[in-house]
């Protein structure tokens, strides 16, 4: 067992793959042999073609909550301290930021009234929405988007992730690992994520309302 995630039970394949890619357990699409999901038991098995020592070393019973930073975090800050900045600093038109911030805000309000509090993540490429995901956890919503992009073989360096959640260092680290160069949030960025964004050549926008 690698991890227990508390999540909204939708787009579970994308969630599992996005999480494992962000944790650097999976690096290439060709590594994935099969993904099996048992909705009744709440279990997901991800089978790889090749044995990986890093995956074996990471096994154990750990929990990642849907909350804000109280769960287990597998990445280490050292992974990004000496990391190379992304080669491209993406430029995003202010109109694009306003447009999709409004889109994600309206969708969030509609969902919240119906279902209760959830987070939304959206990937925009060339001025168009490519995929959007929802989850009770802000990390999970981003993982689902990243998983979808990875499974589709989508280039991410010139795209933008929009999120309703706070931009923490974990969110920024996940995005960096996947090569996403721009993150826009309706909420606040942390001071650490701002410092990391500056060093890693990532464009970060907070309070985009």
The catalytic residue among 68, 77, 109, 115 is: 68
Q: What is the DSSP track for the chain?
A: ---EE---SSSHHHHHHHHHHHTTS---GGGEEEEEEETTTTEEEEEESS--HHHHHH-S--EE-SSSS-S-----THHHHTPPPPS------HHHHHHHHHHHHHHHHHHHHHHSS-EEEEEEETTEEEEEEEESSHHHHHHHHHHHHHHHT---TTEEEEESS-B-HHHHHHHHHHT--EEEESSPBPHHHHHHHHHHT-EEE----
68 part of the active site: yes
Sign of CA dihedral 122, 96, 21, 60: negative
Short-list 159, 169, 160, CA closest to 200: 169
* Active centre residues (catalytic): 68
């Amino acid at each position: 067992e690698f991890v227990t995630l508390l999540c909204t039970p939708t787009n579970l394949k994308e969630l599992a793959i996005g999480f494992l890619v962000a944790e650097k357990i999976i690096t290439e699409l060709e590594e994935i042999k099969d993904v099996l999901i048992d909705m009744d038991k709440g279990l997901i098995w991800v089978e790889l073609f090749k044995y990986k020592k890093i995956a074996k070393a990471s096994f154990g019973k750990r929990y990642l909550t849907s909350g804000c930073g109280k769960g287990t975090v597998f990445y280490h800050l050292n992974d990004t301290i000496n990391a190379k900045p992304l080669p491209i600093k993406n430029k995003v038109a202010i109109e694009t930021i306003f447009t999709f911030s409004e889109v994600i805000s309206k969708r969030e309000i509609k969902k919240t009234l119906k279902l209760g509090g959830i987070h939304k993540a959206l990937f925009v490429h060339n001025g168009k929405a490519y995929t959007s995901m929802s989850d009770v956890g802000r990390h999970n919503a981003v993982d689902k988007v990243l998983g979808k992009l990875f499974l589709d073989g989508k280039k991410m360096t010139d795209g933008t992730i929009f999120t309703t959640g706070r931009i923490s260092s974990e969110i920024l680290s996940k995005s960096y690992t996947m090569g996403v160069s721009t993150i826009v949030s309706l909420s606040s960025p942390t001071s650490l994520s701002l410092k990391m964004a500056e060093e890693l050549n990532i464009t970060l926008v907070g309070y985009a309302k």
